[in-house]
A = this chain, B = another copy of it.
Amino acid sequence: MAVYTDVSPEELEAFLATYEIGRLRAFKGIAEGVENSNYLLQTEAGSFILTLYEKRVNPADLPFFIGLMEHLASRGIDCPQPVKNRAGAALGTLAGRPAAIATFLVGTSVRRPSAGHCAALGTALAGLHKAGADFTAFRRANALSVPGWRPLFEQAEARADTVAPGLAALIADELATLEPNWPTGLPAGVIHADLFPDNVFFTDGRLSGLIDFYFACNDLLAYDIAICLNAWCFEPDGAYNQTKGRALLAAYQAERPLEPAEIDALTLLCRGAALRFLLTRLVDWLNVPPGALVRPHDPKDYLRRLRFHRAVRNVRDYGIALAGSAA
């Protein structure tokens, strides 16, 4: 649910006059994305998404996001393509906020991904990583990687055990393991960093696009895989589905084979990805205003994932095909 800034029709009309997308036919706030306000625009030229960047987005990051989407679209990745105004700029100001118009991506997300969906995701993720390899115009560090986790924990520590007994000790133990042992030197580049099922569109069973690049950053490519394994390959009861994991990993490797060091690091990266979402969800969960209309995600879903990864003794448990195995 995301319409934080109210745009008057008069302001909108003036903003659209700076673009060459024809006259407005319809305009509706939509419940997509969680950080920004998003509107569906219909004009004589078709459908578009208008995004107003809200306070949680750092304006200094906008050239990275906009430039990345332009770059990826130019490399054939199906993602929203920023539309330039008459002055050639993809970023303007509307209702006092930075604002951009992007093309409308056809498709719908799936709630319960199948192994086939996971395979399609693996292919698209590798394609994204390859297409992003030469995006060097801007850089953006991952604010939610290892150095960002302890400050989140400190916000949540005192009340963590109200969510699950022993949670504070478990997170402290996990940080003590991950901080000194986090892999370095692995292949790095642009990662999406939030490629949950609701950010992936399918049309007639085929993957038709990726959206919401507002967590994208420069980081380890295999960390993006770890985020996706967490987000796509666990069942509602918390069990890891190795068939889905195998499908995702094999499809990814068909496009970009993992290096041995990436495979060795996979369990640790999966633990880190689970901890990252556990921590942000825990902080949101503990800070929900009473009576708020939006219910945050239950952090315990990611606690179950973390426990799974901590128990993994062999990376084959993820369903990965090791060198010498059949792909």
Contacts and interface: CB of A to CB of B under 8 A. Distances in A.
Interface of A: 1, 3, 8-10, 12, 23-32, 40, 42, 47, 104-112, 203-204, 288-294
* Chain A contact residues: helix, strand, loop or mixed: loop
A29 B109 CA distance: 13
For the complex formed by this chain, how many copies does it contain in all? 2
A24 B110 CA distance: 13
Given A291-B290, A294-B293, A3 B25 contact: no
Contact of A29 (B26, B31, B111, B203): B31
A203 B25 contact: yes
Contact of A23 (B47, B104, B204): B204
A296 to B, nearest CB: 12
Nearest to A105: B26
Closest 9 CB pairs of A and B: A289-B291, A29-B31, A8-B111, A28-B30, A27-B108, A3-B31, A25-B106, A293-B293, A291-B292
A30 B27 contact: no
A175 B27 CA distance: 40
A253 B286 CA distance: 58
Contacts of A203: 25
Contact of A25 (B10, B29, B107, B111): B107
B42 A29 contact: no
A32 B26 CA distance: 12
A9 to B, nearest CB: 5
Contacts of A112: 8, 10
A8 B236 CA distance: 14
Nearest to A38: B28
A24 B108 contact: yes
